[in-house]
Structure 1
Amino acid sequence: MLIRRLCVALGLFVLLILVVILLVWLILRPTKRQFTLQDVKVYQFNVTSPNFLTSSIQVTVQSRNPNDKIGIYYDKLDIYASYRDQQITLPTLLLPTYEGHKGIDVWSPFVAGNSVPIAPYIATSLT
């Protein structure tokens, strides 16, 4: 009898948690944030032998929060350039920021790499 009561209580507790999660989702209607690459300026882009890349690139990235009732806090956000699935610059850490509901933030960081080793097929395709 005790085991049955415990199972019923546990089942009701799980059901209550699921109902709370459903209500929070229905009230807030969370959607994914959107990132847009607005501009790219290449200041330096040199391939040297044997298979090293030196680059300096400025990118302008826009973040848009489409949520009506949810703000987003960006605690740690890294940005880097890649080519054919290989990272070609070092990660650049963007400053922590809070983006309110229906908010838009724009960043224009420089991403750079000095003598970054790249795969031979990438060096061939870039020369």
Structure 2
Amino acid sequence: MADHQRIHPVQDPEVVEPVPPHKPTAPLVERGSSRSENGDPERQYPPPLRRGIPYEPLKPPRRRSCWKKCLCWTLALVIVQLIILGILAAIVYFVFQPKIPKYSVDAMRITQFNLGNDNSLSATFNVNITARNPNKKIGIYYEGGSRLSVWYTGTKLCEGSLPKFYQGHRNTTLLSLTLAGQTQDAAGLLQSLRAEQQTGSIPLNLRARVPVRLKLGKLKLMKWKFLVRCRLVVDSLAADNVIRIRDSSCKFRFRL
């Protein structure tokens, strides 16, 4: 009987047999050290610290409150109005070329100036005032409610008012006014006046507050107030006597 041939399998070179895992012959833990119950002792150490950018929560954008918005709008409207008024004022100035009215006190006469039994001083002045309008294209309406007064060292001696009238372009108007008044407890005031009368130089102040309306061409503007102050120096304050005005100067300004 023929010998049976043994067949040995030939391993393909391209097929790699898996390598059995290598079993450690020595323990991974060194002698004298204890094994942690939680696993590998190398994993017990915390990871190294890394420096990072600190976290800051984002702040919500600030919203403008209602009053700030109202304030901004109000300021904007005021600025616009000022610009418009400036443009109108420039137009009026270049078209109408306004000039300040001029006033002067020309004469003064006292018809009453005596001390009563109750130490009250009664005074009546007749004053002549010249009002000049030098404007070519602007007229002046003098309205009612004006007040004129004569003062001596802070004490009002008499008062009156202007009549209502219209003053045209480049017009000069002469006004004759009567101012009357009464001052209480004026014994000391009269002594001071007599002392200054001997020097021949008595200071007086004439104040006027006159409501007016300006007329630009055919347009009548809103009401304004003319404020006039005149400083006078007279020689005496005797009744029924012509008073000589030694010095006179008037200042003018206006307001709404």
Q: What is the TM-score with the length of structure 2 in the denominator?
A: 0.40
Q: In 1, are the aligned partners of 2:120 and 2:187 still within 8 Å (CA)? A: no
Tell me the secondary structure at the aligned position of residue 31 of structure 1: coil
Conserved? CA contact 1:51–1:123, under 8 Å: no
Between the aligned residues of both structures, percent identity stands at 26
Counterpart selection for 2:184 from 105, 117, 124: 117
SS of the aligned residue for 2:174 comes to strand
Structure index of larger Rg: 2
Preserved contact between residue 160 and residue 177 of structure 2 (Cα < 8 Å): yes
Greater mean alpha carbon deviation, residues 95-104 or residues 49-58: 49-58
SS of the residue aligned with 1:126?
Answer: helix
Name the SS for the 1:122 alignment partner: helix
> Are residues 14 and 37 of structure 1, via their aligned partners in 2, closer, same or farther at CA, if it must alter by over 3 Å?
closer
Quote the Cα distance in structure 2 between the aligned partners of 1:14 and 1:97: 33
Q: Distance in 2 between matches of 1:36 and 1:14?
A: 35
Match of 1:46 in 2: 114
Gaps of 5+ in 2: 1-72, 195-256
1:34 to 102, 105, 112: 102
Contact 2:124 2:178 in 1 (8 A): yes
Tell me: CA distance 1:72–1:45, structure 2 relative to 1, closer, same or farther (3 Å): same
Q: CA deviation at 1:54?
A: 0.8
Query: 1:3 aligns to what?
Result: none
Distance in 2 (CA, whole Å) between partners of 1:56 and 1:14 is 47
What SS does structure 2 have at the residue aligned with 1:80?
A: strand
| 1:78 counterpart = 2:147 | yes
Q: Contact (CA 8 Å) 2:121, 2:186: kept in 1 or not?
A: no
> Could you report, residue by residue, the CA deviation over 1:50-74 in whole angstroms, capped at 9, with x for unpaired residues?
6521112111111001111111111
CA 1:72/1:124 → structure 2, altered by over 3 Å: closer, same or farther? Answer: same
More helix by share: 1
- After superposition, residues 1-127 of structure 1 pair within 5 angstroms as 15-48=83-116, 51-76=119-144, 77-89=146-158, 91-113=159-181, 115-117=182-184, 122-127=189-194
The answer as to whether partners of 2:106 and 2:130 remain within 8 angstroms in 1 is yes
Look up the equivalent residue of 1:126 and give its one-letter code: L
> How many residues matched?
119
Deviations 1:72-95 (CA, angstroms, capped at 9, x unpaired): 111033222221232111x32221
What CA distance in whole angstroms lies between the structure 2 residues aligned with 1:126 and 1:16?
Answer: 53
Contact between 2:108 and 2:126, CA under 8 Å: does it hold in 1? yes
Q: Can you list the C-alpha shifts for 1:77-117, whole angstroms capped at 9, x where unaligned?
A: 3222221232111x32221111011111111121112x422
Superposition CA RMSD, Å: 2.7
